[in-house]
Amino acid sequence: MEFILPLIVFLILISLKQVNEYEREKRATIINSEGELMASQNLAKAAKRLATSPGALHLRTLNSINDISSDQSNTIVFAVPIEVLRAVEGFSKKK
């Protein structure tokens, strides 16, 4: 009997520890999902703002390239829409 009571207390403490760990993981998951929701809402707002401002997307792209260019080890692949290439081609034919 002397051995059973400490064993029961020990098992209760282990159970409480597992419950606390589960609760911490649950809270961390909720906090993470709330952060993801806020990030997606901010991205949606930014996309709407870029869509309604003429030239804003181009300026954002140039800003990103400028940020990347500060590191000499990066290679930048710059995607140019075909319409821009056709416009440049049209200008060169006029000359």
Beta carbons of 76 and 69 less than 8 angstroms apart: yes
Nearest to 81 by CA among 57, 63, 46: 57
pTM of structure: 0.52
Question: Given this model, what pLDDT does residue 89 score?
Answer: 82
Please write the tens of the pLDDT for every residue from 26-60: 999 999 999 999 999 999 999 898 888 888 888 88
Per-residue pLDDT tens over the stretch 71-95: 777 677 777 788 888 888 877 776 6
C-alpha span between 79 and 56 (Å, rounded): 16
